[in-house]
C-alpha cells in the first residue's frame, strides 16, 4: 500500500511539473494581457492587449466565444471609447459591428451586434474607472 501511494505521488509530481512548464510557456514575452472580461449567458468576451501592454506596438483586441457553438468565432482589433458610464470596445472591421460595454460601477456587461443587444453578462475583470 505504501509503495502504491508513493508511485501516485511521483505521477502527480510529473503532472504538476508538466503543467508548470506549460504555464511558463503561455506567459512568455508574447503573452496576452486581459483588461476586460464579460461572462455572458450566450457569449464570453475577452478584451486584451497583445504582447507588452506598455509597448506602443501593443494591439487592443477582442475575442468572443459562443457557448452554444463552443467556438471562438471572433478575434479582432477593437478601439476603446471611454464615456462617463464605462468603456465601449468596438470592432474595427468585419461583416458585423460588435460592441462590448463594460460599466464602471455595475456588475452587468452588455454585448451588442450591429447596435442590438445580443447578450448580457457578469463583469469578471475591468479596467479602472473611465471617470478617474
Show me where the domains of the chain are located. Answer: 1-28, 32-125
Check residue 51 and give its pLDDT. Answer: 77
Whether residue 20 contacts residue 38, with contact meaning beta carbons closer than 8 Å, is answered with: no
For residue 80, give the 3-state DSSP assignment.
strand
Residue 47 CA, distance from chain mean position: 5
> What's the pLDDT at 30?
57
| pLDDT at residue 12 in the model | 38
Provide the pLDDT for residue 14: 37
pTM: 0.73
Per-residue pLDDT reduced to its tens digit, 95-131: 899 999 999 999 999 999 999 999 999 999 998 887 7
Q: Smallest Cα–Cα separation from 62: which of 53, 50, 51?
A: 50
Residue ranges of the chain whose pLDDT lies below 50: 1-29
Cell numbers at 97, concatenated:
459591428
For residue 25, the model assigns a pLDDT of: 36
Amino acid at each position: 500500500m505504501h509503495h502504491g501511494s508513493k508511485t501516485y505521488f511521483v505521477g502527480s509530481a510529473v503532472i504538476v511539473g508538466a503543467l508548470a512548464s506549460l504555464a511558463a510557456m503561455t506567459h512568455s514575452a508574447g503573452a496576452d494581457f486581459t483588461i476586460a472580461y464579460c461572462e455572458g449567458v450566450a457569449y464570453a468576451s475577452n478584451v486584451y492587449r497583445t504582447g507588452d501592454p506598455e509597448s506602443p506596438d501593443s494591439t487592443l483586441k477582442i475575442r468572443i466565444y459562443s457557448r452554444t457553438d463552443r467556438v471562438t468565432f471572433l478575434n479582432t482589433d477593437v478601439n476603446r471609447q471611454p464615456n462617463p458610464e464605462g468603456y465601449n470596445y468596438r470592432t474595427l472591421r468585419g461583416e458585423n459591428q460588435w460592441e462590448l460595454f463594460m460599466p464602471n460601477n455595475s456588475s452587468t456587461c452588455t454585448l451588442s451586434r450591429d447596435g442590438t443587444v445580443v447578450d448580457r453578462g457578469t463583469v469578471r475583470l475591468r479596467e479602472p474607472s473611465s471617470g478617474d
